[in-house]
A and B are shown apart, each in its own frame.
Chain A
């Protein structure tokens, strides 16, 4: 088997074709932080916390480790001053949405991110897409999806599907790094039941 030789943090590694930098690093036991990554799901590249420096033919660029495929003679640096700075800013931006997420708080401690740097916009959702993708790719139920765009983008359950499928599943709940998903679910449930009683009483 022809392996692809690359270097991660100064250590040589023989990767197979189609592997991503993240997978190679995990094989080497090098930790790269991730938020939107899940091994059962397709790589998504939403959170950008896995940003690493990739040097190829003398050029260094910043890439998302969970998406970037390995290539011969690639030199990867998973920690550097620049990367730590980028991860810190990303975390600060995410913390403006979900200031009390344990996962974010732990990373914030490691990278010295200040949770109060940006004005709070407590939507609690960091758009990692884990719930949406898990429901679509693994469960194939599509009960939850994204709506709207830009700063107004949010997750939204389809009540008709959720009322049938979600009660016995809820497998997406523990995936959520911020608990925003549970809030959205409870809200949908409350709206659905009030609508239900409205229809029956009205």
Chain B
């Protein structure tokens, strides 16, 4: 992510230190993670010490300081999804993408994460890709869903 894009986001928030979290969230959603250079730029422009930014960026789970893939896969491991075979869905996704929960593949396509409940237990087992829910999914259908993303 280049400084120009970061500056644009910062200017949108009128360079105000109080908008720090908003700025970080926007960089995160555009770039999928927060590179060190980006944090340094934000620190410089908003005049917020880097220690403070680091504190905030490591505090919230919404931020990532390591590269994340273009598409985020969340697999629900909640009780309802678990009894309906969430582990088998997870195994299938791991086989297809070659990554374990918490990891990102080498060409930055997918990041995989398990979550504890997505709040729609009636749809279990649930797989969420980029915020879109795929309910009552069968291991055989996982490949079809993942094929749509590149």
Contacts and interface: CB of A to CB of B under 8 A. Distances in A.
A83 B118 CA distance: 44
Contacts of B59: 148-149
A136 B55 contact: no
A145 B49 CA distance: 10
Interface residues of B, number: 8
A135 B50 CA distance: 13
Interface string A105-147: 0000000000000000000000000001001100000111111
A156 B54 contact: yes
Nearest to A143: B51
Contacts of B58: 147-149
A158 interface: yes
Contacts of B52: 142, 145
B50 A161 contact: yes
Main SS of the interface on chain B? Answer: helix
Q: Categorize the interface residue count of chain A.
A: 10 to 19
Contacts of B49: 136, 142, 145
Interface string A135-175: 11000001111111100000010100100000000000000
Contacts of B51: 132, 135-136, 142-146, 158
B54 to A, nearest CB: 6
Give the one of B49, B50, B51, B55 with max A CB within 10 A: B51
Nearest to B59: A149
Interface string B36-52: 00000000000001111
Interface string B86-98: 0000000000000
A143 B50 CA distance: 8
Nearest to B61: A149
B50 A146 contact: no
A149 B62 CA distance: 13
A147 B55 contact: yes
Contacts of A147: 54-55, 58
A56 to B, nearest CB: 34
Nearest to A158: B50
A142 B44 CA distance: 13
B61 to A, nearest CB: 9
Interface of A: 132, 135-136, 142-149, 156, 158, 161
24 contacts: A132-B51, A135-B51, A136-B49, A136-B51, A142-B50, A142-B51, A142-B52, A143-B51, A144-B51, A145-B49, A145-B51, A145-B52, A145-B54, A145-B55, A146-B51, A146-B55, A147-B54, A147-B55, A148-B58, A149-B58, A149-B59, A158-B50, A158-B51, A158-B54
In order of increasing CB-CB distance, the 9 nearest A-B pairs are: A145-B51, A142-B49, A147-B58, A142-B51, A148-B58, A149-B59, A146-B55, A158-B50, A145-B55
